[in-house]
Chain A
Amino acid sequence: MLAEALVLSAILFVIGTAGVLIRRNAIIMFLCVELQLNAVNLSFVALSQYIGIEGQVFVFFIMTVAAAEAAVGLAIIISIFRHYETVNVDNFNLLKW
């Protein structure tokens, strides 16, 4: 059972990573980051059965932080969208050298 859970976690994580690297839409990238976080959560939960309750505790922390992060991140994206009228990250190059 553990092996399947970890494989699924790995697949989810790779999908998330690929999404972050490939997509240019800020919201999609944001979603992919969430996907990565939750892939890790899945591993934690699966492994806690063998190692201890700490994994599940960590999952709660991650979900809390992710919720806060989502709030801030979405606020930034909305703010940027108001300014540029786009959420394509390639256009956000004002601070680029």
Chain B
Amino acid sequence: MTGIGLLTTGLAAQDAGAGFDPLLPGLILLLPFLGFVANGILALISGVRGADRVRAGETEGHGDSAAGRPLTQSLPTWIGPGVMLVAFVLTLVNFVALLGVELTEPVIRSYWTWMATGTLTVEAALQLDQLSLIMMMVVTGVGFLIHVFSVGYMKEDPGYARYFAYLNLFVFFMLTLVMGANFPMMFVGWEGVGLCSYLLIGFWFQDREKADAGKKAFIVNRIGDFGLLMAMFMLFALFGTLDYVAIFEAAPEVLAYGGFAATAIALFLLLGAIGKSAQVPLYVWLPDAMAGPTPVSALIHAATMVTAGVYLVARASVLFALAPVGAAAVATVGAVTALFAATIALQQYDIKKVLAYSTVSQLGFMFMAVGVGAYAAGVFHLMTHAFFKALLFLGAGAVIHSMHHALHATHKDWDAQDMRNMGGLRRFMPVTWLTMWVATLAIAGVWPFAGFFSKDEIIWFVGTSAPAGALYVVLWAMAIATALLTAFYMTRLMVMTFHGSNRTGEGERPHLHEAPLSMTVPLGILAVLSVVGGWVNVPGSIRESVFGGFGLLPMSDWLDRWMEPVTASAQAIRLEEVGAYAATAPVGGGHVVWGAVATGLALAVVLVGARLVGSREIRPATESEAPEAGVRKLLYNKWYVDEFYDRFIVRPLVGLSRFCWRWIDQVLIDGTVNAVGTVSRGFGWFGSLFQTGQINTYAFIVTLGALALLGVLIF
């Protein structure tokens, strides 16, 4: 046995072994943290220097690209993406090692006892199994690409080092979330990514609006965290432990199927997932979160953090399988969110807002999948979505970058993110154009792009859940409607941004340019992944048909089989209590027929949508007016949900707080305290009247006292 092997077995609390010996899992977690520390120190140094410059009276320009880049600029360029690359390679090594073995029990690496209080013992332990490894692959892989992209995107920002520090810290917490072997570890990651999300949304905190968006994200997430905490309390009360393995093994015995406890736990977990994954009704923070730098939107608010809710449901699959009401609620929330967000995306003009609502909608799809028990399908869509949505966001970032430069060059105060100001960018940014079309076709669900396989699998599973209740037929219809809307709004985005005539303006046009290599290379890699990413989980029947090139596509049902050990017990419960999935969708047809219908419809919508949007006359934002009335106005204003929340939740809460402050606190509490003080002082004043300082007075009082005593003695 090697030295490392000795060390790790020595550390292992319970080593399931089975031939899989993870290579330095702790280091994967530690690397981004070290990156955070290093970049954080550099950020502090550059912050102090910047403050000195400001005090010296120099105006802070757009970085200092000409006068030799200081170390605080050049070091993060290597540290930030560097630690991610090493972490990714380590994860890849582990992943490949796990490919070769049949692992039925998760491997747990316990490092130290984090808390030991009475009956609760929590280990600082990492869990490596199929689910956590696939999440780690997405987090480190897509994360690395986005770090590289950020080098080009954030180059001129004065907070460059701070940006990479936050980004590394985010990856550290995200890895904690997916690698933790118990609920408290996961919760640390859960809160940590929330913190980093807050820090990065409000990265340009000088802008009041952006700082407020960060606060909104943080506060809305607290509601979800309440649910997660409640679920953890209940789990501890019932199981006496918070370790995944122990809970999920004991769950079928401890929790009755469909019982109150199981349902309550599932619903509280769902509340946590809703908050983090931006589902109805707590989705409102995600569109606002677009205030952060665009690569942040790609990494945190599209590819990784917001999928934590899906991960949570997949991880706790046993608990949801035991609570049919909870699982149905997950699916319903997902379907409602998917459709609702897709409708809003139809009428948005901010390129990032469209993508934000698209993300909310796609997360809804994942919720549908895990809600109907198709955990592998949910994780599959999570993965492919990470590829194509990160690509879309990064592409949008490249567009915004270029637009910003062009508008900045001529000091035009137009919105660099408004698609009405773009148009015809294809000629200036061919790589971005091409890669984003790949992602658009992927998200629209056109064969053979990744989204076709993952999204249609979800629709398929929702449809074939129909025997379990009429609800699923409705959800199925909603899912199909959402898929069509998705194809349309994404086509609209592409056509408005890249096609037609350019609306940026004569003076600005020469300044439009393709993004630098550090940005286009990640786009290219993600584009490739957006195509081939779906091929890892091709259903057998599809693979044999024309859609699989009659068996040419490499793998069949690989992800389903990969995820089997993680979801086996949940699937067993489901099979026993609910029954198997139907062989066909509610409206007839098997895999292949629906595959053909779906891809045909998606392609049709893309083509018709392109024609429709292309024929419409679009004017720059300053010359066009907001929709006057009707559905368009409703969608343009996002169904007035923010206004509704403001009127019925935020303002009453503020009013209540103001009442508590003005009356309960200032009048009642402060009044009581002040009254006690006033009364004491009054007594003191009265007592001080007797203390004249004249000896005669005292003598007189002594005499009176003596006389009184004498009187008492005598009479």
* Chain A interface (Cβ < 8 Å from any Cβ of B): 17, 20-21, 24, 89-90, 93, 95-97
Q: Please tell me if the beta carbons of A97 and B695 are within 8 angstroms of each other in the complex.
A: no
Closest to B707 in A: A17
B683: interface (CB < 8 Å): no
CA gap between A81 and B691 in the complex, in Å: 26
Q: Please tell me if the beta carbons of A21 and B693 are within 8 angstroms of each other in the complex.
A: no
Q: Please tell me if the beta carbons of A97 and B699 are within 8 angstroms of each other in the complex.
A: no
B672: interface (CB < 8 Å): no
Q: Please tell me if the beta carbons of A96 and B699 are within 8 angstroms of each other in the complex.
A: no
Q: Please tell me if the beta carbons of A89 and B703 are within 8 angstroms of each other in the complex.
A: no
Q: Please tell me if the beta carbons of A17 and B695 are within 8 angstroms of each other in the complex.
A: no
Contacts of B703 in A (CB 8 A): 17, 21
B696: interface (CB < 8 Å): yes
Contacts of A17 in B (CB 8 A): 703
Q: Please tell me if the beta carbons of B699 and A20 are within 8 angstroms of each other in the complex.
A: yes
Q: Please tell me if the beta carbons of A97 and B691 are within 8 angstroms of each other in the complex.
A: yes
Contacts of A96 in B (CB 8 A): 693-694
Contacts of A24 in B (CB 8 A): 696
Known: A21-B696, A89-B696. 16 other contacts (CB 8 A): A17-B703, A20-B696, A20-B699, A21-B699, A21-B700, A21-B703, A24-B696, A89-B695, A90-B694, A93-B693, A93-B694, A95-B693, A96-B693, A96-B694, A97-B691, A97-B693
Closest to A20 in B: B699
Contacts of B693 in A (CB 8 A): 93, 95-97
- Secondary structure of the B contact surface, majority rule: helix
What is the minimal beta-carbon distance from A89 to any residue of chain B, in angstroms? 7
What is the minimal beta-carbon distance from B597 to any residue of chain A, in angstroms? 99
What is the minimal beta-carbon distance from B691 to any residue of chain A, in angstroms? 7
What is the minimal beta-carbon distance from A58 to any residue of chain B, in angstroms? 20
Contacts of B694 in A (CB 8 A): 90, 93, 96
Closest to A93 in B: B693
What is the minimal beta-carbon distance from B279 to any residue of chain A, in angstroms? 72
- Report the tally of A-B residue pairs with Cβ distances under 8 A: 18
Closest to A22 in B: B696
What is the minimal beta-carbon distance from B703 to any residue of chain A, in angstroms? 6
What is the minimal beta-carbon distance from B74 to any residue of chain A, in angstroms? 72
Report, as a range, how many residues of chain B touch the other chain: under 10
Contacts of A20 in B (CB 8 A): 696, 699
B673-706 Cβ-contact flags toward A at 8 Å (1 or 0): 0000000000000000001011110011001000
Closest to A18 in B: B703
Closest to B700 in A: A21
What is the minimal beta-carbon distance from B713 to any residue of chain A, in angstroms? 15
Closest to A97 in B: B693
What is the minimal beta-carbon distance from B706 to any residue of chain A, in angstroms? 9
Give 18 pairs: A residue, B residue, CB < 8 Å, sorted on A: A17-B703, A20-B696, A20-B699, A21-B696, A21-B699, A21-B700, A21-B703, A24-B696, A89-B695, A89-B696, A90-B694, A93-B693, A93-B694, A95-B693, A96-B693, A96-B694, A97-B691, A97-B693
CA gap between A17 and B700 in the complex, in Å: 9
Contacts of B691 in A (CB 8 A): 97
Contacts of A95 in B (CB 8 A): 693
* Chain B interface (Cβ < 8 Å from any Cβ of A): 691, 693-696, 699-700, 703
CA gap between A17 and B706 in the complex, in Å: 12
What is the minimal beta-carbon distance from A23 to any residue of chain B, in angstroms? 9
CA gap between A93 and B694 in the complex, in Å: 8
CA gap between A90 and B696 in the complex, in Å: 9
CA gap between A96 and B698 in the complex, in Å: 13
What is the minimal beta-carbon distance from B711 to any residue of chain A, in angstroms? 15
What is the minimal beta-carbon distance from A48 to any residue of chain B, in angstroms? 23
Contacts of B695 in A (CB 8 A): 89
Closest to A23 in B: B696
CA gap between A17 and B693 in the complex, in Å: 19
Question: Which 9 A/B pairs are nearest by Cβ-Cβ distance?
Answer: A96-B693, A21-B700, A97-B693, A21-B699, A17-B703, A21-B696, A20-B699, A21-B703, A93-B693
| Residue of B695, B696, B700 with highest tally of chain A CB at under 10 A | B696
Closest to B706 in A: A17
What is the minimal beta-carbon distance from A86 to any residue of chain B, in angstroms? 16
What is the minimal beta-carbon distance from B670 to any residue of chain A, in angstroms? 32
Closest to A24 in B: B696
| Residue of A21, A89, A97 with highest tally of chain B CB at under 10 A | A21
CA gap between A93 and B693 in the complex, in Å: 8
Closest to B693 in A: A96
What is the minimal beta-carbon distance from B307 to any residue of chain A, in angstroms? 74
Contacts of A90 in B (CB 8 A): 694
CA gap between A21 and B694 in the complex, in Å: 11
Contacts of B700 in A (CB 8 A): 21
CA gap between A16 and B564 in the complex, in Å: 110
CA gap between A21 and B706 in the complex, in Å: 14
CA gap between A97 and B690 in the complex, in Å: 12
What is the minimal beta-carbon distance from B532 to any residue of chain A, in angstroms? 92
CA gap between A97 and B691 in the complex, in Å: 9
Closest to B691 in A: A97
CA gap between A95 and B694 in the complex, in Å: 10
CA gap between A91 and B694 in the complex, in Å: 10
What is the minimal beta-carbon distance from B19 to any residue of chain A, in angstroms? 89
Contacts of B699 in A (CB 8 A): 20-21
CA gap between A85 and B703 in the complex, in Å: 30
Contacts of A93 in B (CB 8 A): 693-694
What is the minimal beta-carbon distance from A24 to any residue of chain B, in angstroms? 8
What is the minimal beta-carbon distance from A33 to any residue of chain B, in angstroms? 10
Closest to B692 in A: A96
CA gap between A21 and B704 in the complex, in Å: 11
Closest to B703 in A: A17
What is the minimal beta-carbon distance from A42 to any residue of chain B, in angstroms? 18
Closest to B695 in A: A89
CA gap between A90 and B695 in the complex, in Å: 9
What is the minimal beta-carbon distance from A17 to any residue of chain B, in angstroms? 6
CA gap between A20 and B697 in the complex, in Å: 11
What is the minimal beta-carbon distance from A35 to any residue of chain B, in angstroms? 14
Closest to B688 in A: A97
CA gap between A97 and B687 in the complex, in Å: 14
CA gap between A17 and B694 in the complex, in Å: 16
What is the minimal beta-carbon distance from B699 to any residue of chain A, in angstroms? 6
CA gap between A93 and B695 in the complex, in Å: 10
CA gap between A90 and B694 in the complex, in Å: 8
CA gap between A17 and B699 in the complex, in Å: 9
Contacts of A97 in B (CB 8 A): 691, 693
Contacts of B696 in A (CB 8 A): 20-21, 24, 89
CA gap between A24 and B703 in the complex, in Å: 17
CA gap between A10 and B658 in the complex, in Å: 73
CA gap between A21 and B707 in the complex, in Å: 14
CA gap between A24 and B691 in the complex, in Å: 19
CA gap between A97 and B700 in the complex, in Å: 19
CA gap between A24 and B693 in the complex, in Å: 15
CA gap between A84 and B703 in the complex, in Å: 29
What is the minimal beta-carbon distance from B136 to any residue of chain A, in angstroms? 77
Closest to A21 in B: B700
CA gap between A89 and B691 in the complex, in Å: 17
What is the minimal beta-carbon distance from A38 to any residue of chain B, in angstroms? 18
What is the minimal beta-carbon distance from A41 to any residue of chain B, in angstroms? 19
CA gap between A90 and B699 in the complex, in Å: 14
CA gap between A58 and B703 in the complex, in Å: 24
CA gap between A21 and B699 in the complex, in Å: 7
